Amino acid sequence: MLKTKLSLALILFFISFSNSLLAQEKLNAFFPGKIWKDNNGVHINAHGGGIVEYKGTYYWYGEHKIEGEKGNTAQVGVHCYSSKDLYNWKDEGIALAVSDDLKSDIAKGCILERPKVVYNKKTKKFVMWFHLELLGKGYEAARAGVAVADKATGPYTFIKSYRPNAGKMPFYASGTPLTEQVNCDKPANKSDGFFCRDLPGGQMARDMTVFVDDDGKAYHIFSSEENFTLHLAELTPDYLSHTGKFIRIYVGHQTEAPALFKKDGTYYMVGSGCTGWAPNPARWFKSKSIFGPWEFMGNPCEGEKSNITYGGQSTHVLPAPGKKGEFIFMADKWEPKNAIDGRYLWLPVKFDKGDIKISWLDKWDLSIFK
Ligand code: DGJ
């Protein structure tokens, strides 16, 4: 009897040992564009994502895609992974689940894109913002959604979705000539027209990110005005609403996929053009103040395929762990025909006399940063 028990234990031990070997070899580098396996040996499913660091652990949140063309709709929710080193990621499950209630704003099958989580030090809550499109309405709703959790990994509770800043005019620095300000009595261009159309009900909010400044204030940056113009909008101290103070950036030039970061008191933003799931040239901006003026600086990418961001589109820029003033550019290589196969392009950001540069690397690790 004892012998049988022992051999059973041995068999079980070997099964779990070989499973763990099969599960995932430990990574010590980034391989942009390649399959990136989690601790279970499964390709990471966190597209259009962002990362928050909390107490030495990194949490990566992104859109959980499924196989096939339907895969770009939210059939599951927002997936979360955790890591200590940014190379090896543990599956933490679904942080925000879509709802089976068809009346819910986040009903299964809606479009829920580019989730970004920030930690609010005052309320001690994790706050998730995302771009939300209501079930069956294509990209017409253009809403911002917000959810909240006590733990980084969730579960997140959905709070509300809406179009921001209803009835509010943009903030302009004193001295801004009237000719540079939107005038809803006489909109000067197409984008101004969309802005004025949406003034009563709130501004459209699609591709987005959230940025927390050194003073703890948070900002929601999103493609608005039928994707023609970016808005950068201040959030309330609890990060759960908009204060009504916002600016418009690069009016009429169709910027998507914004990702913000700050180095030595200067604000940087990387984004893309607007060509659906197809890649286009990245673009970057810089500003001395969060409320602008934001200067358009061109394409930060260099070398082969820099005209299509190496096949990707920006989603987040992450401060490199333990390397002050160094950053990682994160992009998605979308696979619209089989969304779950989308890949991740992470590349180091280089600083060159006030400019930023991004170059392709097949393989790299954090020792690249001085
Ligand atoms: C590009 C955006 O960046 C994505 O998040 C997604 O909205 C697609 N367009 C949809 O075509």
Model confidence pLDDT, tens digit, residues 261-270: 999 999 999 9
Model confidence pLDDT, tens digit, residues 53-82: 999 999 999 999 999 878 999 999 999 999
pLDDT for the residue numbered 141: 98
* C-alpha Rg value of the chain to the nearest Å: 22
* Extents of the domains making up the chain: 43-162
- List 313's β-bridge partners, or say none: 332
Ligand 1 site, residue 207, Cβ cutoff 6 A: yes
Ligand 1 site, residue 274, Cβ cutoff 6 A: no
Query: How far, in Å, is the centroid of ligand 1 from the Cα of 152?
Result: 26
Query: How far, in Å, is the centroid of ligand 1 from the Cα of 276?
Result: 5
User: Which CATH number describes the domain made up of 43-162?
Assistant: 2.115.10.20
Ligand 1 site, residue 111, Cβ cutoff 6 A: no
Query: How far, in Å, is the centroid of ligand 1 from the Cα of 106?
Result: 18
Of the pLDDT bands very low, low, confident and very high (cuts 50, 70, 90), residue 259 is very high
pLDDT for the residue numbered 70: 85
**Mean pLDDT (whole number) for 265-276:** 98
Ligand 1 site, residue 277, Cβ cutoff 6 A: yes
> Which residue out of 313, 316, 335 has the highest number of ligand 1 atoms within 8 Å of its CB and is therefore the one to mutate?
313
Which amino acid appears at position 296 of this protein? F
pTM over 0.85: yes
- Identify which has the larger pLDDT, 179 or 22: 179
Query: How far, in Å, is the centroid of ligand 1 from the Cα of 226?
Result: 13
Query: How far, in Å, is the centroid of ligand 1 from the Cα of 207?
Result: 7
For residue 282, which phi and psi values (nearest 5 degrees)?
Answer: -70, 165
**Mean pLDDT (whole number) for 90-104:** 98
Model confidence pLDDT, tens digit, residues 337-347: 999 999 999 99
Model confidence pLDDT, tens digit, residues 282-296: 999 999 999 999 999
Ligand 1 site, residue 62, Cβ cutoff 6 A: no
Ligand 1 site, residue 48, Cβ cutoff 6 A: yes
Is-contact 242 162, C-beta < 8 A? Answer: no
Please, what sign has the CA dihedral across residues 3, 8, 12, 14?
Answer: positive
pLDDT for the residue numbered 68: 84
Ligand 1 site, residue 182, Cβ cutoff 6 A: no
Distance CA 201, CA 162 (A): 9
Q: What is the position in ligand 1's atom list of the atom closest to the CA of 274?
A: 1
Secondary structure of the chain as H, E, C letters: CHHHHHHHHHHHHHHHHHHHHHHCCCCCCECCCCCCECCCCCECCCEEEEEEEECCEEEEEEECCCCCHHHHCECCEEEEEEECCCCCCEEEEEEEECECCCCCCCECCEEEEEEEEEEECCCCEEEEEEEEECCCCCCCCCEEEEEEECCCCCCCEEEEEECCCCCCCCCCCCCCCHHHCCCCCCCCCHHHHHHHHHCCCCCCCCCEEEEECCCCCEEEEEEECCCCEEEEEEECCCCCCEEEEEEEECCCCCCEEEEEEEECCEEEEEEECCCCCCCCCEEEEEECCCCCCCEEEECCEECCCHHHHHHCEEEEEEECCCCCCCEEEEEEECCCCCHHHCEEEEEEEEEECCEEEEECCCCECHHHCC
Residue nearest to atom 3 of ligand 1 (CA): 257
Query: How far, in Å, is the centroid of ligand 1 from the Cα of 255?
Result: 11
Is 1 a residue whose pLDDT tops 90?
Answer: no
**Mean pLDDT (whole number) for 144-157:** 98
pLDDT for the residue numbered 14: 53
Model confidence pLDDT, tens digit, residues 10-48: 555 555 555 544 556 999 999 999 999 999 999 999 999
Model confidence pLDDT, tens digit, residues 189-239: 999 999 999 999 999 999 999 999 999 999 999 999 999 999 999 999 999
Is-contact 259 314, C-beta < 8 A? Answer: yes
**Scanning the structure block, which residue is given the tokens 């990707």?**
312
Ligand 1 site, residue 332, Cβ cutoff 6 A: no
Query: How far, in Å, is the centroid of ligand 1 from the Cα of 139?
Result: 10
Torsion of CA 227, 228, 230, 236, to 10 degrees: -60
Residue 172 C-beta-side C-alpha neighbours within 13 Å:
11
Distance CA 324, CA 154 (A): 29
Residue nearest to atom 10 of ligand 1 (CA): 276
pLDDT for the residue numbered 207: 98
Model confidence pLDDT, tens digit, residues 352-369: 999 999 999 999 999 999
Ligand 1 site, residue 114, Cβ cutoff 6 A: yes
Residue nearest to atom 1 of ligand 1 (CA): 276
pLDDT for the residue numbered 370: 86
> Which residue out of 204, 207, 222 has the highest number of ligand 1 atoms within 8 Å of its CB and is therefore the one to mutate?
207
pLDDT for the residue numbered 222: 99
Neighbouring residues of 131: CB distance < 8 A, sequence distance ≥ 6? 111, 112, 113, 114, 142, 143, 144, 145, 205, 206, 207, 208, 222
